[in-house]
Structure 1
Amino acid sequence: MKPKLSAYVSDSVSQRLELAAKRPGTNKSAIVEAALDRFLNPERDTSGDAALIRRLDRMSRQLDRIDGDLSVMAETIALFVRYYLTITPPLPSGDQEAARALGRERFEMFVAQVGKRVASGSRLVADVMERVSTSKPDLFTRHIEEGAPLGGAENAETRSRSQDATGEQPGPSPAGREEVGNV
């Protein structure tokens, strides 16, 4: 025989206890006993907590991966915009309408491709990063200057020899000096 206890609870707890006790295979005594046992001995039922911790860890790893992908995309877009604005020459006014029409057509194709990739679930950033890391595994370990071409030390050495031979530092190509035109 189990000892009988009397306890006072708030109306909201009493109502929730009534609802829970209406479920098949349970009663108020079993619910109160399980709750008190868990409260008084929290180590006994850690299976729910362990599952929650595993899920939170998995979510944390997913957020870290998303953060990394977002950083790569932001840097890629920033470098592309800088490159595009640096090399795009201004168009003569007669060619602007044809360029706009071509731009609209290209943009529609771009949006369609983005839609396809999103619908298929494949990620271009992950594909590109995987391809680059397998073909050139040391690419991301090099320390390159901002805007310097890839190639690390050999490019710095080539620039140094070029500077020694002419007495001047090599400048950008004429295409790099063009003004930014209307987009």
Structure 2
Amino acid sequence: MAARGKKTKISAYLDPEVMTMLADYAARRDQSQSMIAEAAIASFLSPDAGERREAAIGKRLDQLDRRMMRLERDVGIAVETLAVFVRFWLATTPALPEPAAQAARAKAGERYEGFIIALGRRLAKGPTLRQEVPEDVRESEE
């Protein structure tokens, strides 16, 4: 490293986007672009830079893991909800005779539209099923 007060000039080529980011960052911090570039290079070359990058990647992977666990939980809840509904519906709904089945099919579009409206209201206002199910519910395999 050069002695304090004595600096060595370098020339570097930057992509226009990187140059814009450097200029914007320096302006926001009221610092020179040279000082920002020097600090960035020093940080990149420091022995612990790799460890910092590894820690940042590890933190991000932990966040992704937690999100994936919540997603798996939510999908499990959705699948079980559908299975319970289908079993209940099949057990409690007798097959309709053909004239009634035709009338039911004719009414199905209207009923489905009502279902979609009700679902939209619930999603907009909450609470959602996900919010109603406690976080500590575990799947039987765990």
Report the TM-score when normalising by structure 1: 0.51
Amino acid at match of 1:23: A
Distance 1:18 1:125 in 2: 41
In structure 2, distance between residues paired with 1:11 and 1:51: 25
The question of whether the paired residues in 2 share the 8 Å contact of 1:18 and 1:28 is answered with no
The structure having more radius of gyration, on CA atoms, is: 1
Which one of the candidate residues 92, 98, 109 is aligned to 2:114? 109
Report Cα offsets for 1:81-139 as digits up to 9, x if no partner: 35545665432222123323554443233212211111024212441x34xx7xxxxxx
Tell me the TM-score normalized by structure 2: 0.61
Aligned pairs for 1:38-53 within 5 A: 38-41=43-46, 43=48
- Residue-pair matches, total: 130
The change in CA–CA distance for 1:105 and 1:28 in structure 2 (over 3 A counts) is closer
Match of 1:29 in 2: 34
Q: Which of 109, 123, 129 is the aligned partner of 1:124? A: 129
- C-alpha distance in 2 between matches for 1:99 and 1:15: 63
What is the distance in 2 between the residues matched to 1:55 and 1:65? 15
Deviations 1:130-170 (A, max 9, x none): 4xx7xxxxxx76xxxxxxxxxxxxxxxxxxxxxxxxxxxxx
Q: Which residue of 2 aligns with 1:175?
A: none
Distance 2:86 2:9 in 1: 72
Which letter does structure 1 place at the counterpart of 2:13? S
Q: Which runs of 5+ in 2 are unaligned?
A: none
Matches of 1:126 and 1:107 in 2, distance apart? 25
Q: Which residue of 1 aligns with 2:101?
A: 96
2:7 aligns with: 4
> In the alignment, is the contact (CA less than 8 A) between 2:22 and 2:36 conserved in 1?
no
Secondary structure of the equivalent of 1:31? Answer: helix
* 2:19 corresponding residue in structure 1: 16
Report the identity percentage. Answer: 33
CA distance in 2, matches of 1:14, 1:126: 42
Tell me by how many angstroms 1:69 deviates. Answer: 0.9
Amino acid at match of 1:2: G
- Counterpart CA distance in 2 for 1:104 and 1:116 is 19
Instruction: Please give the alpha-carbon distance, in whole angstroms, between the structure 2 residues aligned to 1:116 and 1:75.
Output: 23
Matches of 1:14 and 1:79 in 2, distance apart?
Answer: 54
